[in-house]
């Protein structure tokens, strides 16, 4: 471990490199390869499975599992935030969740309907590990970077994560499309390639995170303070304090309501998009389905960058709130049209639109919230509240999607409900006072 001073370029780059290490989880496991693999397991037996004493549709099962994982994350994040502020060895906590997530990704190699409970446990723990490590990773930023450096190095981390995750996904796509080139043979060569990709995610995550751990300091303090009950629950106290302050800041409270509803829908759409495409689009073959879905994920990644740039320029010209209202309107139309799509070309077009508005709404939502914050208050507490609200929104969105999917046998009606969320968000955002429209 190197003892570098705060603001040191090498230290900043090492911190940002963790994005390169962990972003493969969000792309390969959460968005692309695992959803396709999961759907393929049900090819010969319909979309249903008897699990937890119920007859559940496979996409509803994974939706409920995801919702439960995010519920746990929304609870432990404030706990971890409180601990991160006090302990002298936050790197050990970050490593624990990193390795938990990475090893769980490797465990997905054994995901099978015959041992569904073990497979779901690995999926659940992978999500916990990823988000848990991010709590400590983000908490390092003010420790290693001066305020004027934080925006730039944070953006660099995002860029590294995007590049790294796309590189690995392209390698995985090549393995799945042409398994024989990689000496992967047999009747289920493509499925084997997907299983190998889960191991590659875990290895990539652990391997590249070592560069980060080599340079990151042990923690923000030389010696950790005693971990008391007060320290552990400090994060919840901060959330309660922010909730009280929101009652006095009506524009921020109204904006947060609009953000909560729209984020609930956006995050749900992105988490279930691949499952929807696998089930509802009329692909000509299993191979076309696999390749087409991964290509769509890559399209979303590429277009999201363009969308973020255009959205940034639009907000500078027209204001943040008016731009967010337009983006939510596009999302609402997107959901309405998604009810009718059936052909691969439809899905490609919708993926392009989704990528464009996804890249814009996430970045703009966070920056708008930042601008509305009172200058005299602790921004870290407000952003902790923001993150928890976002995660609880995901829990609600995934549950709504899963319940409708289970009851109707199709996710199409659930997509329409998500469209209603976007319309609701528009009305809530319009209530933010004009002078606060930024």
Q: What is the mean pLDDT of residues 48-70?
A: 93
271 and 151 assigned to the same domain? no
Q: What is the mean pLDDT of residues 186-208?
A: 94
258 and 128 assigned to the same domain? no
Contacts of 392 (CB under 8 A, 6+ apart): 70, 71, 74, 260
Q: What is the mean pLDDT of residues 135-148?
A: 79
pLDDT value of residue 213: 93
Choose the final residue of a domain: 198, 231, 264. 231
> What's the CA dihedral at 85, 149, 359, 174 to 10 degrees?
-90
138 and 263 assigned to the same domain? no
Choose the final residue of a domain: 231, 263, 298. 231
CATH number, domain with residue 67: 1.20.1250.20
What is the 3-state composition of the chain as percent helix, strand, coil, each rounded to the nearest 5? Answer: 80, 0, 20
Whether this model's pTM surpasses 0.75? yes
Cα separation, 240 vs 78, whole angstroms: 11
Give the H/E segment covering residue 414.
Answer: helix 412-430
pLDDT value of residue 223: 45
Cα separation, 387 vs 267, whole angstroms: 13
Least confident of 109-113, 372-376, 415-419: 372-376
pLDDT value of residue 221: 53
Give the H/E segment covering residue 56.
Answer: strand 54-57
pLDDT value of residue 224: 47
Confidence of residue 159 (pLDDT cuts 50, 70, 90): confident
pLDDT value of residue 228: 65
Cα separation, 423 vs 408, whole angstroms: 23
Q: What is the mean pLDDT of residues 369-378?
A: 70
168 and 245 assigned to the same domain? no
Q: If we measure between CA atoms, which residue out of 375, 391, 388 comes closest to residue 81? A: 388
280 and 301 assigned to the same domain? yes
pLDDT value of residue 376: 57
Length of the chain: 438
Q: Are 12 and 149 in contact (CB under 8 A)?
A: yes
Range of the domain at 130: 1-231
As for how many domains the chain has, the answer is 2
Beta bridge partner(s), residue 57: 48
- More confidently predicted of 149 and 230: 149
Least confident of 28-37, 149-158, 199-208: 149-158
pLDDT surpasses 70 at 437: no
Q: Is 186 left (phi over 0), alpha (psi -120 to 50) or beta?
A: left
216 and 318 assigned to the same domain? no
Q: What is the mean pLDDT of residues 48-73?
A: 93
Q: What is the mean pLDDT of residues 318-344?
A: 91
Confidence of residue 29 (pLDDT cuts 50, 70, 90): very high
Query: Phi and psi at residue 432, in whole multiples of 5°?
Result: -70, 130
pLDDT surpasses 70 at 14: yes
Choose the final residue of a domain: 231, 247, 282. 231
226 and 127 assigned to the same domain? yes
Cα separation, 280 vs 151, whole angstroms: 41
């Amino acid at each position: 471990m190197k003892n570098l001073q705060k603001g040191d370029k090498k230290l900043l780059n090492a911190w940002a490199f963790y994005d390169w290490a962990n972003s493969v989880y969000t792309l390969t496991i959460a968005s692309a390869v695992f959803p396709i693999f999961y759907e393929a397991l049900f090819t010969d037996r319909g979309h249903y499975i008897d699990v937890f004493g119920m007859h559940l549709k496979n996409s509803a099962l994974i939706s409920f599992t995801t919702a439960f994982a995010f519920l746990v994350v929304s609870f432990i994040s404030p706990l971890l935030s409180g601990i991160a502020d006090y302990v002298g060895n936050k790197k050990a906590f970050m490593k624990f969740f990193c390795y938990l997530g990475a090893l769980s990704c490797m465990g997905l190699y054994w995901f099978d309907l015959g041992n569904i409970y073990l497979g779901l446990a690995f999926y659940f723990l992978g999500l916990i590990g990823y988000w848990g490590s991010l709590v400590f990773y983000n908490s390092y930023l003010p420790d290693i970077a001066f305020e004027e450096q934080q925006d730039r190095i944070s953006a660099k981390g995002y860029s590294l994560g995007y590049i790294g995750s796309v590189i690995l996904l392209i390698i995985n796509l090549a393995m799945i499309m042409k398994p024989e080139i990689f000496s992967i043979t047999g009747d289920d060569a493509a499925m084997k390639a997907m299983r190998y990709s889960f191991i590659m995610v875990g290895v990539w995550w652990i391997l590249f995170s070592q560069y980060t751990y080599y340079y990151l300091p042990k923690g923000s303090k030389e010696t950790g303070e005693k971990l008391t009950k007060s320290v552990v629950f400090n994060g919840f106290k901060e959330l309660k304090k922010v909730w009280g302050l929101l009652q006095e800041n009506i524009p921020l409270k109204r904006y947060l309501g609009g953000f909560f509803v729209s984020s609930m829908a956006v995050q749900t759409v992105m988490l279930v998009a691949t499952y929807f495409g696998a089930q509802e689009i009329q692909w000509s073959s299993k191979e076309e389905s696999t390749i087409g879905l991964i290509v769509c994920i890559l399209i979303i990644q590429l277009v999201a960058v363009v969308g973020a740039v255009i959205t940034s320029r639009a907000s500078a010209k027209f204001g943040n709130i008016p731009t967010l209202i337009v983006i939510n309107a596009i999302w609402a139309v997107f959901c309405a049209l998604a009810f009718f799509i059936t052909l691969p070309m439809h899905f490609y077009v919708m993926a392009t639109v989704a990528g464009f508005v996804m890249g814009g709404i996430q970045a703009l939502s966070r920056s708008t919230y930042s601008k509305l914050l009172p200058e005299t208050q602790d921004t870290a507490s407000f952003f902790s509240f923001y993150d928890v609200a976002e995660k609880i929104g995901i829990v609600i969105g995934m549950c709504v999607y899963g319940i409708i999917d289970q009851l109707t046998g199709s996710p199409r009606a659930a997509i329409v409900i998500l469209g209603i969320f976007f319309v609701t968000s528009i009305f809530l955002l319009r209530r933010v006072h004009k002078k606060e429209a930024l």
